[in-house]
Amino acid sequence: MTTSTVTTTLRLGTRASELARTQSQTVADAITAATGAAVELVPIVTQGDRSSAAIAQLGGTGVFVAALREALLAGEVDLAVHSYKDLPTAPEPGLIIAAVPDREDPRDALVARDGLILGELPPGSKVGTGAPRRVAQLRALGLGLDVVPIRGNVDTRLGRVVGSGGEGADLDAVVLARAGLSRLGRLGMITETLDPLQVLPAPAQGALAVECRTSDARTRELLGRLENSAARACVLAERSTLATLEAGCSAPVAAYAEVAEGDHGPELFLRASVTAIDGSDAVRGSITGPLPEAVALGRALAAELLDRGAVELMAVTP
High-pLDDT (> 90) share of the chain, %: 77
What is the rounded average pLDDT of the residues 141-146? 96
Residues 27 and 97 in one domain: yes
Same domain, 213 and 96: yes
pLDDT exceeds 50 at position 5: no
**Residue 163: which region, alpha, beta or left (left: phi > 0; alpha: psi -120 to 50)?**
left
pLDDT of residue 270: 98
Same domain, residue pair 297 and 239:
yes
Q: Are residues 220 and 171 in the same domain?
A: no
Residues 113 and 90 in one domain: no
Confidence band for 264, pLDDT divided at 50, 70 and 90: confident
Band (78; pLDDT cuts 50, 70, 90): very high
223 is a domain residue: yes
* CATH number of the domain to which 130 belongs: 3.40.190.10
pLDDT at 281: 95
The verdict on 293 and 242 lying in the same domain is: yes
Per the prediction, the chain carries an average pLDDT of: 90
What pLDDT, on the 0 to 100 scale, is given for residue 169?
A: 85
If you average pLDDT over residues 17-33, what whole number do you get? 95
* 14, β-bridge pairs: 43
Q: Does residue 72 share a domain with residue 218?
A: yes
Q: Is the pLDDT of residue 261 over 90?
A: no
Residues 6+ apart with CB under 8 A from 181: 109, 111, 154, 187, 189, 190
Checking if the pLDDT of 46 tops 90, the result is no
261: three-class secondary structure by DSSP? strand
pLDDT score, position 153: 87
Residue 179's pLDDT band (boundaries 50, 70, 90)?
Answer: very high
Residues labelled catalytic = 86
Task: Determine, yes or no, domain membership for 200.
Answer: no
Most confident option among 7-16, 223-232, 254-263: 223-232
- Beta strands (DSSP E) in the chain are 10-14, 39-43, 79-83, 95-99, 108-112, 126-129, 146-149, 173-177, 192-193, 208-213, 253-262, 265-275, 282-290
One domain, residues 95 and 141 = no
Residue 2 has pLDDT above 90, yes or no: no
Q: Which domain holds residue 125?
A: 108-193
4 pLDDT tier (thresholds 50, 70, 90) = very low
Find the CATH number of the domain harbouring 253. 3.30.160.40
pLDDT (tens digit, 9 = 90+) per residue, 51-62? 444 444 444 546
Mean pLDDT on 288-310: 96
Do 146 and 187 reside in the same domain of the chain?
Answer: yes
135 pLDDT above the threshold of 80: yes
Same domain, 138 and 96: no
Give pTM, 2 decimals: 0.89
What length is written for the chain? 318
Residue 3 domain-assigned? no
With vertex at residue 77, the alpha carbon angle to CA 75 and CA 83, rounded to the nearest 5 degrees, is 125
